[in-house]
Amino acid sequence: SKRRDSKSHSMCGQCQTFKPPMSHHCRICNRCVSRMDHHCPWMNNCVGASNLKHFILFLLYTWTCAAYSLTLFGWNYFFCADEDCTFHVIVVHLVRAMTVLCVGAFLFTSSMLMNVTYGLMTGIGTIDRLKKKATNTMNQSDEEPIPLKDVFGIAGYHTWLIPIDPVFEDYDRAMGFSTPQRLVREQQLMESKRPVVSPDISSSATIELPSCVNDFLPV
């Protein structure tokens, strides 16, 4: 999109520095977050370009555990038709309390997964979407969908569901910025991998022997 690929950067009034496109300043974290979606109190951190994969996995893991727990409760307690399905009163209260928690977690994570999916498909984060809805400018959006390789990386499909940091094809483009320390490390890495060129002996200049030595050589 034009906003994402823009060469100019806006200035943050809080940090007093330039901030990448599609970034926002978080008052709780007291810093600018690249491609910020929202501040998550459950993770105690902002959700942005660098940890969007971990946030999606957090939602997916919680949704799976809640669905699995509800299935176990329904199969072994609520829909149990055997005569032996008698439980202690404490177990009954625990199952009911856990059912309420699992239903809440299931519904909440389902809505958040749909919210994240909508953001990936439209390229509009939660904060930007709320701002556009408040100003009635959603139909003027020029954002493009976020490629999955900018979220899960290019290490392979088998790493998508594993909670490890993704390897991006273009870190600067995915993050929207670059740090001098990383550029220096990459330069040192490239220099260490550069092949050492050995001198060509055949192309070296011929050594002339002194005339006294030539007198002893056979003709």
More confident residue, 79 or 148: 148
How many C-beta neighbours within 10 Å does residue 61 have? 13
**Global pTM?**
0.75
Please report which confidence band the pLDDT of residue 218 belongs to, taking 50, 70 and 90 as the band edges.
low
Q: Using CA of residue 126, residue 128, residue 134, residue 136, what is the dihedral sign?
A: negative
Whether the predicted pLDDT of 34 surpasses 70: yes
- The DSSP string of 33-80 is ETT--EEETTTTEEESTTTHHHHHHHHHHHHHHHHHHHHHHIIIIIT-
Q: How many Å is the maximal CA-CA distance in the chain?
A: 118
Least confident window among 46-55, 98-107, 131-140, 208-217:
208-217
User: What's the mean pLDDT in 31-41?
Assistant: 90
Instruction: Please list, in sequence order, all residues whose beta carbon lies within 8 angstroms of the beta carbon of residue 90, skipping any fewer than 6 positions away.
Output: none
Please report which confidence band the pLDDT of residue 204 belongs to, taking 50, 70 and 90 as the band edges.
very low
- Which candidate, 174, 166, 160, places its Cα nearest to that of 34? 174
pLDDT in tens, 12-25: 888 888 888 788 99
Q: What is the pLDDT of residue 9?
A: 66
User: From CA 15, how far away is CA 67, in angstroms rounded?
Assistant: 42
Pairing, β 38-40 against β 45-47: antiparallel
Tokens of 79: 């829909």
CA-atom Rg of the chain in angstroms: 30
Please report which confidence band the pLDDT of residue 200 belongs to, taking 50, 70 and 90 as the band edges.
low
Whether the predicted pLDDT of 2 surpasses 60: no
Please report which confidence band the pLDDT of residue 173 belongs to, taking 50, 70 and 90 as the band edges.
confident
More confident residue, 63 or 167: 63
Annotated catalytic residue, options 12, 40, 46, 102 = 40
More confident residue, 74 or 152: 152
pLDDT in tens, 56-115: 999 999 999 999 999 988 887 777 767 777 778 888 888 889 999 999 999 999 999 999
Whether the predicted pLDDT of 210 surpasses 70: no
- Which candidate, 160, 154, 157, 148, places its Cα nearest to that of 120? 148
- Which candidate, 43, 36, 41, places its Cα nearest to that of 21? 36
3-state SS assignment for residue 110 = helix
Tokens of 140: 């003027």
Q: What is the DSSP letter of 191?
A: H
Instruction: Please list, in sequence order, all residues whose beta carbon lies within 8 angstroms of the beta carbon of residue 138, skipping any fewer than 6 positions away.
Output: 129, 132
Percentage of the residues of the chain whose pLDDT score is greater than 90: 34
Instruction: Give the total residue count for the chain.
Output: 219
Indicate if 40 belongs to the active site: yes
More confident residue, 68 or 177: 68
Tokens 């290490």, residue? 155
